Structure 1
Amino acid sequence: MKFKSILLSGAALAVLGAPAFAACPAVTVADMKGLTSDYPEQFELAEFEEKGTCKLAFAENPSIADLNKKILGNKDLPALAERLPAEPLVVAPYDKVGHYGGVITGISKGTESGTSDLLSVRHVNFVRYSDDLQTVVPNVAKGWSWNDDFTVLTINLREGHKWSDGEPFTAEDVAFWYNDMILNPDVYEKTPGRWLFAGKPVKVEATDPTTVTFTFPVPTPGILNRFAVDYGQPFQPKHFLSQFMPKYNPKAEDVAKEYGFESAKAAVDFYYGGSDWKDVPSPLLKDGDKAARIGRAVVPTLESHIVVEESSEGRKLVANPYFHMVDTAGNQLPYIPEISEIYIGDKEVQNLKIMNGDVVWKQQAIFLEDFPLLKENEAKGNYTVSFAPTFGENVFFSFNRTHKDPVLAEIFNDIRFEKAMSIALNRDEINEIVYLGQGKPMQGVPAEPKTVSFVTDDVMNANIAYDIDGAKALLAEMGLKDSDGDGTLERPDGKPLVIRMIYSTQGVPVKMMELVRDYWSAAGVRVDLKEVTSDEYRAAGNNNDLDLTTWKYDGTSGPAISQDVTAFIPPFGDYFNPGTGFGWAAWKETGGKEGVEPSADIKQLWDLSEKFLQVEMGSDESNKLGAEIVKIHVDNLLKIGTVGDIVAPFMFRNDLKNVKPIKAKSYDFYWTYPYRPQQWFMEQ
């Protein structure tokens, strides 16, 4: 029997009792039009169409084909329906459905310095935190599930999702990232500790094109938080990188040499750089000629924007034509198709660019000391500068306990010295001068007090009362004297006690450094102050070449420590925010063959921290372990804190729309990532 195919109108369908599908409602957060979403401010496509009783039609940026031509190596674009996933993420804009056009102009200090707030504008990961900073919501992943004991995490991807070059993105790209990049000794000589669990690797398997499982050697309930806030993206384009791997391509060496590389390994290094971090110089800056010969300038991405130009002065990006998000009217995001990032190392020049109206968005490295000047010039620059609460902004000073100079190492390991340096700080004055009285004097603790319940007032107030005479008495008790009367104490070997304080304005306010220099000098410890770039600071810190490290106490909010205890254990930091105790870390890593053996309480931190990761955040056991860890830190004054619970400024130009006041200015939630910058648009 044959049947004729017929099309029924909405009215006819209604008569027949079937639902009539009209155009979908242009839902916004300001007006949800009676709809509720399973996750805040976004829908899955099927969910949206079912709740709206509609069929969503899709539209694209009319300039997308021209933008695509700027992406070196990309082919001509197929129709939008072939570029979007079969299951795109539907985003409800904050205030209104936007329109295409404009450029997000931003400022960084350099190609690897102060770039993370702009990186966060284009960032994606499996999941993210909603702007309430409490709810984890889907992003690249469509969904996820756990087994009962938090040892197996299943991630469900979006059918039909594609890389920025149009090739399919599948679970194989996730397995490839871990098995062929993270565990590959040609890429990482030593597997990064952050991707080991109780010292063991996770088993990552692609069970079908849209399903990947992570099987952990121990319970790991906090790992979803890592995917929600972390810069590291747990997927790499297998189709692109595997062409340079003999495991996948028998002619990998020949292909690499054909493209001008010495070896296949050099090709992988060229494109991946041995890092999940996205602000490393792109191949365009590394070797533009070679990139042009190869025909692909940057590794394909899932992010909203793709680097198309880079020099020592800045980088430019254009919209990803295969991006997986649409708005509730069906428009493919992002609305703003271009990002222009310029590098400015000098803070005064940065402020001038903002005041001249040249900057559309800036969060990172704007300090309260800048606020009065920026506020005064709001009208002139047509921008708004506002305050936001902060997490992890308490600036610390951490003396190098395993210093290469044994005399300084002995001094820095004497708790009397640490206490003297702590009580020599006039935190009330720091709060007034640097933070305009907006903060709270506070000791340095490795868990942001506003996000956990195990940090007590006694801990936060330990050794913070200003007492310059008490500081001098402690130093004298150590046997440190000013024999020649020049105002500077002498070390036990007779040399003047001089501390080199190297700092970067990306991490700390200049005025605070000057105040601390004067406080400690008044106690008899001379401080030589030197400002450097963040790259220089990090290189010296990670080489154990600094007398002390100073930065913001980031990486310590609840979501951060639930999945990464870097701040808890030696060296109490990562590459981007180095701590102290590198010798202690070496001792642990080599089983005592190298480095410096720490005291018994420092040794406890490794065991306590491992247990902390294996229990659910906020549970009684988690709080008990957290309190023990914090007590060891504060008893030893591993990081001397200054002022916490502060607010900090951020700014945006007034023609940037769909901007919502941010709940917190925090690297720990990856700056702008929770606030959905893909739905920003420029008023025209």
Structure 2
Amino acid sequence: MKHLTTFGIIWAALGLLVGSAHNIAMAAECPAVTVADSMGVAAGKYPQQYELSEFQSLANCTLSFSGNPDAAALNSRIRGNPQLPPLEDRIPMEPLVVAPYASIGKYGGTFDMISNATEAGTSDFLAIRHVNLVRFSDNLQTIVPNVAKDWEWNDDFTQLTFFLRKGHKWSDGAPFGAEDIKYWYDNLSLNPNVFEKPKDYVLVGGERMTLDVLDPQTIRFNMPAPKPGLLAHFANSYAQGFQPKHFLSKWDPELNPDADAMAKAAGFENGLEVLSNYYGNSDWTDTPTPMLRSPDKAGNLPADTVPTLESHILISESTEGRHLVANPYFFQVDTAGNQLPYVSEQDEIFVNEDEVRLLKLVNAEVHFKAQSLQLSTAPLLLDNQEKGDYTIQLRPEVTISSFGINMTHENLEKRKVFADLRFRQALSVAMNREEMNEVAFFGMGEAKQYVGFTDSPPFVEDKWKQHFAQYDPALANSLLDEIGLKDTDGDGFRELLNGDKLVINLQFAVQGAPAALVELIGQHWSAVGVQTTVKEVTPDEYRSAQSSNKLDVTNWRNGQPLAIVLGTNQIWVPPYHDYFTVRTNMLWAEWVDSNGASGVEPPDYAKQMMEDITAFQSALVGTPESDELGARLVENLVSNLLFIGTVQVPAPIYHRNAVKNVVEYTTHSFEYYRSYPYRPTQWWLDE
């Protein structure tokens, strides 16, 4: 068997075999190791963390455990939770031991955050409490254990086995194990009555996997073809590879004959409606759920809170925000034996106005913010750092703002023009990217074409990074003339081929693109006779219009690193991303989803990309086969300008100085799931 550690560190030799984490007799009290001070303790198999037996062996000590003194009071606020048992009955027998970055923390406090709306701008906050089977470490290369304590691949990457932690419990004290992973996969992700269309990450080349429960703590994914990127998916995705079977199966008619009656008593049509509303609407874990319907004036919930493995659990939710308390059964401890998280409560409020959000940051009313902060906000935030006692990091964005021209537009005359490659080429060279960089981004960005892969693997030829990215309005006019788009009424703007006015309505949300950038693009296109109107809308309005095929042009930050592309095909298959990001050509997607029964048939190059991404995900990275497939994916994507790239820039990350153990981020990115690699469970509040 091949053991894949993805740049992992060689395991230090173990001193003693340990049978139970709760029956250990060793030499001394454990040193409070931090990343800043190892205190003479060698690194473990994985960076900045240890398994319990590994840590005790390397440190020649016995770790004793302690917990938040307010845990019982916090637990009493979790609707449906039983009385809290002692700490030793709450943490796993095999907890994950986390080395804090700089200091052992103190318990308490409320972590304050702002998001845009219930499903807009919330990943910033969700990433702070998020867990999945594994995660990327902060170098964004090494995959390390998290919920799973380890994993193992077979030789051809068609079997992935996860080993879970003995004694791990859900936030309500129920056992967590392999059955919860199998239930998530078989009963939810692949159930057409719950999830209309399976996500690509639960399939391999469009085919399902099978999951074998080998024992309560061991589960094996069996794949119909190699998919080495499956592990990377679990390392970065917000979609967790498990769900609480003991809780959700009560509503599942396949598993509980009383499910429909229970659901009707709770105000639903049947049990499937509960499951569909909970999971089938979205795998986005901050989607409001039926368990949290209409809290009363005191913020109480009408049903028990859905159990979680995350560091904090939701106790109240409304249209104004959410409130969470620490999970009393969380599976991580620090090197001094303190159960994590240190922070007792989290509070999130929804503020959809960009100016109000900025004011709250300047006034230090928020502990942390990264999502929706554009580079344009940096001067104001930097100027007020000392006064507000906060720190701003400017870190590179992984993605680049990209614009997709809707080639399946409901207006057939627009569709005819938009589908002409010369039109997309003209719009691209009409863009003055250097002006965008200077005006919108203070000269701190890099003008680029969109190439899909954000980390430029070797098979991405340099020529594609600047393909039709030069500023050449003369060429733009020539191409538009060649198509036959003329200004016959002399108003300075071109008409469609049938004589109707050609007007591009460019809608955007500031969460996806800064206003200054979009306004400049509107001016650039209008300057070559393509009349363009610019309108700012809310993220929810934008996403709804985009997914309904109502937009002329779609725009958001786009692109994914190679490791993530290996796990999901979404940026290579119509509509080329998910609901929360940039999508285009929705009727191509309908054709694909319906197997040609409806929608619009994609062109041959789009079909080739669908074939190539399936083969690419099964090929070993760095082989000639992989490189050939990757190069062809890039060529088809860029040469046809499915998306038009702009300028790649850094963006601000904000944190109050009272938040301890925050380190410098490698990137400002959703693609590595924001704060998840930087271990926010070991943050603490010094205030």
* Alpha-carbon contact 1:434-1:512 (below 8 Å) kept: yes
Report the alpha carbon displacement of residue 620 of structure 1 after superposing the two structures with TM: 3.0
In structure 2, the residue matched to 1:13 is: none
2:214 aligns with one of 207, 215, 219: 207
Partner Cα separation in structure 1 for residue 138 and residue 299 of structure 2: 40
User: Residue by residue, what CA displacement relative to the aligned partner does 1:95-154 show, whole Å, maximum 9, x if unpaired?
Assistant: 010111122211110010011011100000000000011100000001100111111110
2:65 aligns with one of 50, 58, 63: 58
Change beyond 3 A, Cα 1:27–1:375 = same
Counterpart of 2:111 (choices 104, 107, 117) is 104
Separation (CA, whole Å) in 2 of partners of 1:513 and 1:259: 46
Q: Is 2:557 the counterpart of 1:576?
A: no
The one-letter code sitting in structure 2 at the alignment partner of 1:106 is M
Corresponding position of 2:270: 263
Other structure's SS at 2:500 match: coil
Structure 2 residue runs without a partner (length 5+) = 1-23
* Aligned residue number for residue 56 of structure 2: 49
1:322 aligns to 2:329 (yes or no): yes
| Matched-pair contact (CA < 8 Å) for 1:222–1:617 | no
The match for 1:479 among 475, 484, 504 is 484
> Which whole-Å CA distance do the structure 1 matches of 2:300 and 2:428 have between them?
57
Contact 2:97 2:335 in 1 (8 A): yes
Aligned equivalent of 1:339: 346
CA offset at residue 283 of structure 1? 4.0
Q: Which residue of 1 aligns with 2:151?
A: 144
Corresponding residue number in structure 2 for 1:650:
653
Shift of 1:380: 2.0
Q: Which runs of 5+ in 1 are unaligned?
A: 1-17
**Residue of structure 2 in register with 1:624 after alignment:** 628
Q: Is the 8 A contact 1:403 1:544 kept in 2?
A: yes
1:655 touches 1:683 (CA, 8 Å); kept in 2?
yes
What does residue 406 of structure 1 align with? 412
TM-score (norm 1): 0.94
Query: Do structure 1's residue 452 and structure 2's residue 452 form an aligned pair?
Result: no
Equivalent-residue separation in structure 1 for 2:466 and 2:567 (angstroms)? 27
Equivalent-residue separation in structure 2 for 1:160 and 1:193 (angstroms): 32
- Residue by residue over 1:301-332, the C-alpha shift from the partner in whole angstroms, topping out at 9 and shown as x without a partner, is 00001111111111111100000000000000
Query: How has the CA–CA distance of structure 1 residues 338 and 273 changed in structure 2, closer, same or farther, with 3 Å as cutoff?
Result: farther
Where does residue 232 of structure 2 map in the other structure? 225
Using the TM superposition, give the Cα deviation of residue 379 of structure 1 relative to its aligned residue in structure 2, in angstroms: 1.7
CA distance in 2 between partners of 1:264 and 1:354 (Å): 43
When structure 1 is superposed on structure 2, of 542-551 and 124-133 the one drifting more is: 542-551
Paired residue type of 1:517: G
Whether the 8 Å contact between 1:260 and 1:290 is mirrored in structure 2 is no
Alpha carbons of structure 1 residues 489 and 31: separation in structure 2 relative to 1, 3 Å? same
Provide the secondary structure at the position in 2 that maps to 1:287: coil
Q: Does 1:615 align with 2:619?
A: yes
- Number of residues paired by the alignment? 663
Task: State the alpha-carbon separation in 2 of the partners of residues 479 and 451 from structure 1.
Answer: 37
Moved more, 492-501 or 592-601: 592-601
Question: Is 2:547 the partner of 1:550?
Answer: no
Contact 2:300–2:316 under 8 Å retained in 1:
no
Identity %: 47
Q: Which amino acid aligns with 1:368?
A: L
CA distance in 2, matches of 1:191, 1:232: 13
Instruction: Tell me which amino acid in the other structure corresponds to 1:353.
Output: K
Q: Contact between 1:259 and 1:293, CA under 8 Å: does it hold in 2?
A: no
Query: Do the aligned partners of 1:197 and 1:218 also contact (CA within 8 Å) in 2?
Result: yes
Aligned to 1:526: 531
- 1:14 is aligned to none
Q: What letter matches 2:387 in structure 1?
A: K
The range that moved more, 277-286 or 181-190, is 277-286
Give 3-state SS (helix, strand or coil) of 1:584's partner. Answer: helix
Going from structure 1 to structure 2, the CA distance change for 1:289 and 1:342 (only over 3 Å counts) comes to closer
How many Å separate the matches in 2 of 1:671 and 1:71? 27
Supply the distance in 2 between the matched residues of 1:93 and 1:437 (Cα, whole angstroms): 36
Report the 3-state secondary structure (helix = DSSP H, G, I; strand = E; otherwise coil) of the residue aligned with 2:117: coil
1:360-407 superposed Cα distances (whole Å, 9 cap, x missing partner): 101111111110111111122111112112211x11111001111111
Residue identity opposite 1:318 in structure 2: V
SS in 2 for 1:668: coil
Q: Is residue 196–residue 280 contact of structure 2 (8 Å, CA) maintained in 1?
A: no
- Shift in Å at residue 259 of structure 1? 3.2
Secondary structure at the counterpart of residue 241 of structure 1: helix
Kindly provide the amino acid, as one letter, of the partner of residue 209 in structure 1.
P
Paired residue secondary structure (2:144)? strand
Matched residues in 2 for 1:261 and 1:44: separation?
Answer: 44
Q: 2:288 aligns with which of 260, 281, 293?
A: 281
SS in structure 1 opposite 2:386? helix
Q: Which moved more, 1:137-146 or 1:290-299?
A: 290-299
- Structure 1 residues 468, 584: closer, same or farther in 2, change over 3 A? same
Distance 1:195 1:417, change over 3 A: same
Aligned: 1:419 with 2:457: no
| CA offset digits 1:599-656 (Å, max 9, x no partner) | 2222211111111010123333222211111011111111000012x22111100111
